[in-house]
Amino acid sequence: MHKFLWGASTSGFQVEGGYNLGGKGLSTTDVRHVKEGIADTKVASDHYHHFKEDILLMKELGLKAYRFSFCWARIMPDGHHVNQEGLEFYDQIIQLCLENDIEPIPTLYHFEMPQALVDEFGGWKSRKCIDAFVEYAKICFQKWQGTIKHWVTINEQLIAMAASDLNGNHENDKVLQTKNMYQMSYHASLAEKKVMKLLKEIDVNAKIGVVNAVQNVYPYSSSPEDVLAAMDAEELMMYMLLDMSVKGSYSFRVKSILKNMDCYPVQEKGDDEILKSSKPDFIGINYYSSICVKENKEHRINYQLPPFFRSSMFEVCPNEHLKKTKWMSNGIDPLGIRSIIYKIYNRYALPIIITENGMAYSDVLENNRVHDTYRIEYLSAHIKEVLRAKEEGYPVFGYCPWSFIDVVSSHQGFSKRYGLVYVNRTDQDIMDCKRYKKDSFYWYKEIIERNGENI
């Protein structure tokens, strides 16, 4: 019997810092954060200098797995040549995790890529990016052949491709920008397929999965129009990319929606073969809350990005049944995570790991402690639902709260925190980045020790 992977998550640009150290090239995320004036990724949580201490904290917490991401620009600063120092940085993290019985689960692509590749050929807009990504994956797979048991290809491709500020999709013409987005996403799907196949050639025993932001969608009312709107929303926000990853094609409904928008990606001869050449061994679910939608009465095609949140088929609206907080504006919905496990397993029949689930809050450090009862309540309610699905026999093999330590959130910097460990800095002041264990840290430690019993 395999042990359940009680883990925790972070991502490269959100924790590392050291943005120009150790030979690292500029990442798209570095460029975006400077432009938007968000708390800088230059230092982030300063994991670059604190990683040994951080892994010891993971050990103290009793983590069985650490899900993190490589920064592509640290390993390949210009997208073509290998930076040995970058590889060694991640090797130190991996080895230290292993020495402490923590399984490292690296993600190859978590929102960021070398800015050089965007400058050179427009990043994912070009098919050249497929080859560049495969080359990068090859270097990683060869380096850690026999060491890494679970790899992740791309984190939340849907979000990554829609964030035009992260990938150079800066068209003024919104129709063209939206078309580009679907084309880029298609290229990323091709790259993902090639990489999944490649891993099996390099390391037959290693497993590889995809991670998606999984949206559990409810209809606002039982009106047939709202129910149909919710079905379409799930097709676009949840199944579109998973169908591609697992089945190698978009669903019939997604195809017809994309064609209607005149956004169906341009395909080349031989693509179908690539798309059918591999599939993931597992599915990673990032779940924060559910979404509620109603019919979009205007039925006008909306070319604002991200198109799947602003569609002609549906309109996102508040769910009256859920408790909302400042940062959790869609509401807190623990039952949603169990529904998602049912839906995903019913459709794909693949093992599942929860790769992200977390409660954002503007935590306050008082007398060196953070009393984050709200986070404990949130995590506890969600873990209960995950374990219930597991008891029912669904093959859920791990759970990783977002995030292990406080990270730079994607748009709100350090004013929005998720960590089990507090990082002493603000958006304006880097301070000492000292680590403080929050109450949720001690609580999660006990949950792991009891293997989730009597939660």
Q: Which residues bind ligand BG6 (CB under 6 A)?
A: 11, 14, 155-156, 159, 213, 286, 356, 360, 402, 409-411, 416
Shortest distance, CB of residue 355 to ligand BG6, whole angstroms? 8
Considering all CA atoms of the chain, what is the largest pairwise distance in Å, rounded to the nearest integer? 63
Q: Which is nearer to ligand BG6, 46 or 356 (CB)?
A: 356
Q: Which is nearer to ligand BG6, 112 or 203 (CB)?
A: 112
Q: Which is nearer to ligand BG6, 163 or 257 (CB)?
A: 163
Which neighbouring-strand residues pair with 63? Answer: none
Give start and end residues of each alpha helix (H) in 128-173. Answer: 128-143, 157-162, 164-167
Q: Which is nearer to ligand BG6, 45 or 409 (CB)?
A: 409
Which neighbouring-strand residues pair with 366? Answer: 369
Which neighbouring-strand residues pair with 218? Answer: 292
Which neighbouring-strand residues pair with 105? Answer: 67
Shortest distance, CB of residue 211 to ligand BG6, whole angstroms? 8
Q: Residue 285 and residue 248: Cα distance in Å, rounded? A: 19
Q: Which is nearer to ligand BG6, 295 or 356 (CB)?
A: 356
Q: Which is nearer to ligand BG6, 136 or 418 (CB)?
A: 418
Residue among 255, 264, 248, 163 nearest 210 (CA): 248
Residue among 43, 114, 110, 107 nearest 73 (CA): 114
Shortest distance, CB of residue 419 to ligand BG6, whole angstroms? 11
Q: CB 331: neighbour CB atoms within 10 A?
A: 18
Residue among 401, 408, 409 nearest 63 (CA): 401
- Phi first, then psi: what are they for 17, rounded to 5°? 70, -150
* β pairing state of 396-399 and 103-109: unpaired
Q: Which is nearer to ligand BG6, 30 or 203 (CB)?
A: 30
Residue among 182, 187, 191, 173 nearest 264 (CA): 182
Give start and end residues of each alpha helix (H) in 310-398. Answer: 334-348, 373-391
Q: Residue 87 and residue 26: Cα distance in Å, rounded? A: 16
Q: Which is nearer to ligand BG6, 83 or 355 (CB)?
A: 355
DSSP annotation of 80 reads: S
Whole-angstrom CA distances from 79 to 163, 164, 166 are 20, 19, 16
Q: Which residue lies nearest ligand BG6, judged by its C-beta? A: 409
Q: Residue 108 and residue 136: Cα distance in Å, rounded? A: 9
Shortest distance, CB of residue 159 to ligand BG6, whole angstroms? 6
Residues 6 or more apart whose CB falls under 8 angstroms from that of 131 comprise none
Tokens linked to 224: 């047939």
DSSP annotation of 26 reads: P
DSSP annotation of 288 reads: S
Q: Is 356 a residue of the active site?
A: yes
Catalytic residue among 156, 192, 315, 356: 356
Tokens linked to 40: 């800088």
Side chain identity, residue 164: S
Q: For residues 22 and 89, is the Cβ–Cβ distance under 8 A?
A: yes
List, by residue number, the catalytic residues: 356
